[in-house]
Amino acid sequence: MGISVPLQRRAGSGAPFSHAALVYAVPCVLALLALPFLSFRPNRIVSGEGVQVWDVAEGWGLVGTAALFVLAGATVLAGRQAARALLGFLGVALAMAVAGAGAKDLMADAPQFARVSLGGGFWLSCAFFALAAADALMRLDLRPLVRLAVAGFVAAALAAALASGWFDSLSLMQEYRANADTFAAAFRGHLILVGGSLLPALAIGLPLGWLCHVSSRARAVAVPILNILQTTPSIAMFGLLMIPLAALVAAIPELRRFGIAGIGVTPALIALTLYSLLPVVANTMAGFRAVPVETREAGRAMGMTRWTLLRQVELPLAAPVILTGVRIVVVQNIGLAAVAALIGGGGFGTLVFRGMGQTAMDLVLLGTLPIIAMAIVATILFDAAIDTMQRRRP
């Protein structure tokens, strides 16, 4: 994969009428008109019948639809980006409220095994409102700390909403209650996979990146190998690693006591570590390479030791690019860790694959949504850190 450098900061703009917002608002309205907002199924397996947004629980349906349309229009007309962001968030909140109320109403007099799932209309309208808000926030060009505060506030509001019980009639929440233990274990497992692969990747990748920067011979050997590793598809990598590990354990059975086995967390961690190496190495190299020659020479000429130069000049200058590599790795591994479930590595993939096996889409969603959430949280945190670093020196 290519080397990615930190995004440049974007200029703020406060156009009173936004063509760009139309791109969110129009599909949002179309999705609400054309696709079912909820889908009702008499039991967990059969396919459901769609419920349009205006057909959900009486009071909520018509008022809610009208309000959603007004909000969508308002995001286009809003005079300030801050207002546009707020309207976007309100749209998401309202769509969720309507969905919760609708589900409660549908389930009130339904058979025991009936399920209410969220439909395309809900997902797409939510997604477009959220994008409108995110777009507006981005154009505001907020300082990193403010951005984190906004993200924290949104996360807290979401958590409070989920805990309130308003959504308990939705099939997604029912799946969560039925699998709460598995969910917690999957969360732990996912964190272990991501964190457990990041540490060795950094421990190997940073020095290796530096080595490849200073020695063209090291570069000529390491980079093609890492390229091939990165090219190997994840399932193949997991599968290939099982074989030597299984052979190893067969040869030295004591290893089993340390939890090493051909299947499970060990091959998953190794595979994720291997995948992380190329981005870390490539970005470390790119970071060091971007240090101007004159700067390095000035440091040397003034009598800095190699170590001082590295610590005081080269590392601080390379840090944003290196951190971008780390962000790429973390986000990438959050996604790849899901595949680890195929070889018993745990993580949210467990829920995804179980859901696919049972054709229970809400279970798939229960596994998928937290993966996406984790990736978004990681992106926000890392971007804030990278931005902070770059802002300190304009």
In the region spanning residues 242 to 271, those forming contacts with other proteins, defined by CB under 8 A, are 242-243, 246
How many CB atoms are closer than 10 A to CB 158?
Answer: 14
Which of 24, 126, 10 has its CA nearest to residue 76?
A: 24
From 57, 90, 110, 134, residue interacting with other proteins (rule: CB under 8 A): 134
From 90, 316, 381, 385, residue interacting with other proteins (rule: CB under 8 A): 316
Q: Which of residues 12-41 bind other proteins (CB under 8 A)?
A: 15, 18-20, 23
From 66, 235, 252, 256, residue interacting with other proteins (rule: CB under 8 A): 235
Per CB under 8 A, does 57 bind other proteins?
A: no
The span from the CA of 344 to the CA of 366, in Å, is 18
Which of 192, 367, 209, 375 has its CA nearest to residue 272?
A: 192
CB nearer to other proteins: pick between 3 and 57: 3
CB nearer to other proteins: pick between 61 and 325: 325
Query: What are the backbone angles phi and psi of residue 149, rounded to the nearest 5°?
Result: -60, -45
Q: What is the smallest separation between the CB atom of 336 and other proteins, expressed in angstroms?
A: 7
CB nearer to other proteins: pick between 61 and 349: 349
54: exposed, middle or buried (Cβ count in 10 Å: 0-12, 13-18, 19+): middle
Q: Which of residues 362-391 bind other proteins (CB under 8 A)?
A: 364-365, 367-368, 371-372, 375-376, 378-379
CB nearer to other proteins: pick between 66 and 290: 290
Q: Report the Cα–Cα distance between both ends of the chain, in Å, rounded.
A: 29
Q: What is the smallest separation between the CB atom of 165 and other proteins, expressed in angstroms?
A: 25
**8 Å CB contact between 211 and 218:** yes
SS3 40: strand
Say which DSSP state 143 is in: -
How many CB atoms are closer than 10 A to CB 337?
Answer: 29
Residues in contact with other proteins, total (CB under 8 A)? 74
From 16, 109, 217, 233, residue interacting with other proteins (rule: CB under 8 A): 233
Tell me how far the alpha carbon of residue 40 is from its chain's centroid: 29
Q: Which of residues 329-358 bind other proteins (CB under 8 A)?
A: 331, 334-336, 338-339, 342-343, 349, 352-353, 355-356
